Amino acid sequence: MEQRHLGRTGLRVSRIGLGTLTWGRDTDEHAAAEQLKAFWEEGGTLVDTADVYGGGEAEYLLGRLMERLVPRRDLVVATKAGSVLEPDRRFDCSRGHLLAALDASLERLGTDHVDLWQVHAFDPLTPLEETLQALDLAVSSGRARYAGVSNFCGWQLAKAATWQQAAAGMRTRLASTQMEYSLLQRGVEREVLPAALDLGVGLLPSSPLGRGVLTGKYRSGTPSDSRGASETMGAFVEPYLDDTASRIVDAVATAADGLATTPLEVALAWVRDRPGVVAPIVGARTTKQLEAALSVEGLSLPDEICQALDDVSAPVHRYPDQDWSTL
């Protein structure tokens, strides 16, 4: 699998990443082992997890599998911290919480460092400089090799990167930002992606298949074994089952028919090759689903197909994104 640099860093990662959101919940240890081995054998290196996935079980499973199945040195392990299950807040990005969470992640993973440590989301109750100081401490102590953020909007990403550059003694620079990005969700193109490109921050798209909808599996209804039919994930899928999404899915299916490939490959190739994108993170419940995604490696979409998909999925960005002085 082709490797790409993560932002303006020397860290190289596979251009498809393996997500572990379902590990320890919908994906048991046997299935997780099959996924990781298949991913590794195809040359995949980037494995993305978080301290809250499966209540910590995803990290624990990954640690067990690195110990006995796939060499730790062959993987780029990325995890996140900052999400909390508290009645009065969803995120805690204070220095104390983040560093304690990192130590707990390292224990579950059975390693002395992670390759990429990410703040899971912006915390409005903690000064941003305190959060960034925690990232700097993690990197300077060797517990993390690189640092990134997740779910930061454009101004939050720009403020964080600018503060790092300006702060005296701050050596850590953001390597990445992880955001949802697909043909069904192009909101990052408004401000996040331009900021990332300007700042040299690599984009790691999550849900690159539109929460599974872009595979075409929901065109004739909701399959009983799909996330859309799940009590825990149904509400996650439902927003992408409207008429607008249906038109985009139909266009993807038409492109797939013309290229003699699958809608999954078309949708994944589109986001993989967008400017600024480093590696879409694919979360599969089964090894079969993962193998279908990994088969995209040999596919490059023709320019006319990309343009057609761009047109049918184009988000509406007016003022101030357009040049208002010419209107």
CA atoms within 13 A on the CB side of 275: 9
Mean pLDDT by 10 residues, the chain (327 residues): 97 98 92 97 98 96 95 97 90 98 98 98 97 97 98 97 86 96 96 96 97 89 69 78 94 97 97 98 92 95 97 86 59
Q: Which domains does the chain have, with CATH numbers?
A: 3-211+265-302 (3.20.20.100)
Task: Please tell me the predicted confidence (pLDDT) of residue 326.
Answer: 53
* Pick from 14, 152, 171, 163: nearest CA to 78: 14
d(CA 18, CA 3): 14
**Identity of the amino acid at 64:** R
132 Cβ contact list (under 8 Å, min separation 6): 160, 163, 164, 167, 170, 172
Task: Using the CB atoms, write b or e for 103-121: b if 16+ within 10 Å.
Answer: eebbebbebebbbbbbbbb
Of the listed 53, 146, 181, 218, which one is catalytic?
A: 53
Whether 53 sits among the annotated catalytic residues: the reply is yes
Is the distance from CB of 193 to CB of 169 less than 8 angstroms? no
Task: Please tell me the predicted confidence (pLDDT) of residue 264.
Answer: 97
Task: Please tell me the predicted confidence (pLDDT) of residue 322.
Answer: 67
